[in-house]
Structure 1
Amino acid sequence: MDYQFTIIVPVYNEEDNLIRVEQELLAYMKIASKKTKVLFVNDGSKDSSQEHIEAIASRHPEFKYISFKENRGLSAAIKAGFDYADTELVGYIDSDLQTAPEDFNLLLEHINDYHLVTGVRANRKDSFVKNMSSTIANGIRRTFTKDGMDDTGCPLKVIKTDYAKRIPMFEGLHRFLPAMILLQNGKIIQVPVQHFPRVAGQAKFGVWNRLIGPLMDCFAYLWMKKKYINYTVEKQN
C-alpha cells in the first residue's frame, strides 16, 4: 500500500494512554487527507508500554514500531522516527494526546508550499508554571534563532521527509526543528491547533528541561549554525 504520511509517536512510560492513542489515530486515518501510517518509537519504557505497542501493531498493519534498548530522550526518539520513515511526509504527535490527531489535516493543507508546518497551541490547558516557563523559553529561543515561531514545543508537526532526514539532531533539538529547516533554506509556517489537558500518565518535562535546558541548547544551535554545511548540486553526470 502506498502511504504518503508517517506519524511518529514517541513513547516513554505511557501505558495508560496507548489504547486511547490507538483509537484516536485509527479515527484520524478515516478522515486523513493523506494515506497515513503510524510509527511508535518506544524510548526505553520501563512499564508495559512495549506490550501495548506490540498488541496494537498485531491488530493493525498500518501501525509499526521500533523500541530502544534504553531511554535516550525525546530528541533521539524523533530522530529515529525520521531515520526509519519511508514516506514523502513525516509528522509527530505526543502519546499524551494533548493535541488532536485530526488537526494534522490543518497542517497538511499547507505542506505543498512549505517544508515544515508546526502547530501553535491555542488556549493551552497547562499549569501556570508550565505555560510561563514555556513562554519564556520560546522568547529566548526566538531571540537566538530568529525563526519567528511562537511555540516550537508544540507536539504536532508535519515536515517533508527529505528535509527531516537532513537535520543533524542533538539532545534538545526537537525545540529547534523550524530553525533547522531554515538552515536548509526551507520555508516554515505555524498554524493554530487545539490543546487539551493531560488525562493520564505523567509529564516528562519540568522547569529545568523546559527553561534552563533550552537556554543552554541555544548556544549549541548558534555553534551549529556557524558550522552548518548546506549545498545544492547544479549538475551531475
Structure 2
Amino acid sequence: MLLSVVIPVHNEADNVLPLLAEIRTALAETGDYEVIFVDDCSDDGTAGRLALERGIAASGSGAAVRVLRHASRSGQSTAVWTGVRAARGVWIATLDGDGQNDPADIPNLLNRAFADGGPELVGGLRRKRRDVWSKRAATKIANGLRQKVLSDGCIDTGCGIKVFRRDAFLALPFFGAMHRFLPALFQIHGYRVDYVEVNHRPRRRGVSKYDNLGRAVIGIVDLLGVLWLKRRTRLPAAIIEDGIEQAH
C-alpha cells in the first residue's frame, strides 16, 4: 500500500466524518490508501461515529477506514505512534483531527516527497494561521526558541500536516510530544527534510484541547531533551562492506 493517513483524535465527534469526506475527495486519484483514526479515549461519541463509517467503508464504499482506540488518554504523540505502527502504507500522512489542516494539501506534499532526490519527510508550513491571537503568539515564541536551540530550519513545527516514510519514523526514539519535533528528529538521524506551504483553516466545530501555559512548560523540557539527543547522536559518514558503500 502506498499511503496511510493517520489522524489522532480526542473528542472530535463533529469533525471526524466531514474530515474523512474531504480526505476521500483529496485522494481520489492517489490509488491504494487507508485512513487510520486513533481515538485517544474520547468520551463524546467520536468512537461510535467512526465505527459506523468504518462499517460503510468495509462494505466497499470508499477507502479502507480503520479505527484504533486507546483505553486511556495517552496524548497526541502516542496516538500518532500507534497509528504509524499499525499502518500498512510505505508513506504516512498525518493530519490533526480538528479540521484545521486541509486534506487537499496532501497531494502537494506527496509530490514533493516523490520528486527525484526527494526527502523522507515533507512538513507543512501554514501560510496564514487561523487561530486566536494568544495561540499564534505562543507558537511564534516557541518556534523562535526551538530554532535557536536546534537550528532545524523549520519555522512551523506545530503544523499537523506532514508526509514521511513509515520506516524512517519507526527508527526514531519515541517520547511524549515527539510530534512537535519531527523535522529535527529526522535530521538528527540522517534523513532529509523539506517543507511545502499549506492552507490553514479556523476551527469550526469542537474546542481546542491545549492551553498555552501547559504546552510552554512541557515544551521547554522536551526541547532540552531533543537538544541532548542531537548532541549525543553520532552517525557514520558512510558504511562500507566488501569495498562497497551501503545506503543508510
Q: Give TM-score, length-normalised by structure 1.
A: 0.92
Aligned to 1:126: 131
Aligned to 1:55: 52
- Correspondences of 1:102-113 after superposition (within 5 Å): 102-112=104-114, 113=118
Distance 2:202 2:193 in 1: 27
Mapped contact 1:141–1:214 kept (Cα < 8 A): no
Mapped contact 2:27–2:107 kept (Cα < 8 A): no
151, 164, 173: which one aligns with 2:156: 151
Per-residue CA deviations over 1:123-168 (Å, capped at 9, x if unaligned) read: 1111110000000001111112110101011010000111011121
Aligned to 1:138: 143
Distance 1:105 1:219 in 2: 34
- Correspondences of 1:160-171 after superposition (within 5 Å): 160-171=165-176
Distance 1:230 1:39 in 2: 33
Distance 2:101 2:10 in 1: 17
Distance 1:222 1:82 in 2: 24
What do you get for the CA RMSD once the two structures are aligned? 1.7
Distance 2:49 2:180 in 1: 28
For structure 1, which runs of at least 5 residues remain unmatched after alignment? none
Q: Which stretches of structure 1, 4 residues or longer, exceed 6 Å deviation after superposition?
A: none
Shift of 1:19: 1.9
Shift of 1:195: 0.6
1:89 aligns with 2:94: no
Mapped contact 2:17–2:50 kept (Cα < 8 A): no
Shift of 1:229: 6.5
22, 25, 28: which one aligns with 2:26: 28
Per-residue CA deviations over 1:93-137 (Å, capped at 9, x if unaligned) read: 011110111100111111131010000111111111000000000
Shift of 1:234: 4.2
Q: Secondary structure at the match of 2:113?
A: coil
Shift of 1:212: 2.8
Q: Secondary structure at the match of 2:8?
A: strand
For structure 2, which runs of at least 5 residues remain unmatched after alignment? 59-63, 243-248
Counterpart amino acid of residue 177 in structure 1: L
Q: Secondary structure at the match of 1:204?
A: coil
Shift of 1:213: 2.1
Q: Secondary structure at the match of 1:119?
A: strand
74, 80, 83: which one aligns with 1:78: 80
Distance 1:50 1:168 in 2: 29
Q: Give TM-score, length-normalised by structure 2.
A: 0.89
Aligned to 2:119: 114
Shift of 1:92: 0.5
185, 189, 193: which one aligns with 1:188: 193
